[in-house]
Amino acid sequence: MPVQYYPFKLAPVAQKALLAELRAVIAEAPLYTPTMPRTGKPMSVRMTNCGPLGWVTDKERGYRYQATHPGTGRPWPAMPQMLLDLWEELGGYASPPEACLVNYYASAANVGLHQDKDEQDLAAPVLSLSLGDIAVFRVGGTSRSGPTQKYELKSGDVLILGGEDRLAYHGVDRILAGTSDLLPEGGRFNLTLRRVTTP
């Protein structure tokens, strides 16, 4: 099995509570459009972060983690306790996460196959939580050209890449618009917890 998959891990009432905390995070650290290294091409997702570190990318300096929002220059907001609790329950890793990437997918957004490998600590898992519309998620092995498997990630689902599958290629093919009424604006939030530095 290429991933650990926990469908409907968060009940609707918990999803609404977490969304309220997420809105507060975004008010403090607004969503922005990241750009690709070298080309400067804008990504189709908008994003922000919470926690001690945040993942950012731009044409000049490429993929990296930093302690401040690239637009405001302020430290990232604290990570909601509900996310820390999920990590403690499901992550199977002693040290806490240091970054939570908040990706917002509008109905036309997608992300091609890629590996999460900008972290120093690749022994820690990557834990992903979905809120909002269904995402058609594709995951394979550690070779980009290998076979892949699809999951329809629904609101409240948790998915974990860890162990030998920590560097599995994965991406989001498309968003199935109108499949959730959690977000009045439609679309999907993906919250990705990562440990960055080696304990």
Task: Tell me the angle at which helices 81-90 and 12-28 cross, rounded to the nearest 10 degrees.
Answer: 120
pLDDT digits (tens, 9 = 90+) for 48-81: 999 999 999 998 988 999 999 999 999 999 999 9
Question: Whose CA is closest to 126, among 134, 67, 137, 186?
Answer: 137
- Token digits of residue 181: 């009424």
Residue 163: pLDDT band by 50, 70, 90 thresholds? confident
pLDDT at 67: 98
Sign of CA dihedral 33, 129, 51, 18: positive
pLDDT at 1: 40
Sign of CA dihedral 90, 85, 136, 43: negative
DSSP bridge pairs for 114:
170
The residue with tokens 């459009």 is 33
Q: Is the pLDDT of residue 126 over 70?
A: yes
> What are the structural domains, with CATH classification, of the chain?
4-194 (2.60.120.590)
Percent of the chain scored above 90 by pLDDT? 78
Q: Which of 50-54, 88-92, 159-163 has the lowest mean pLDDT?
A: 159-163
73-110 in b/e burial notation, b at 16+ Cβ within 10 A? eebbbebbebbbebbeebbebeebbbbbbbbbbeeebe
Average pLDDT over residues 101-116: 92
Helix (H) or strand (E) holding 111: strand 111-114
* Euclidean distance between CA atoms 180 and 186, whole angstroms: 8
Average pLDDT over residues 193-197: 95
Residue 2: pLDDT band by 50, 70, 90 thresholds? low
* Euclidean distance between CA atoms 162 and 67, whole angstroms: 24
pLDDT at 144: 84
DSSP bridge pairs for 178:
none
CA angle 102, 147, 113 (to 5 degrees): 30
Phi, psi (5° rounding) for residue 44? -85, -10
Residue 38: pLDDT band by 50, 70, 90 thresholds? confident
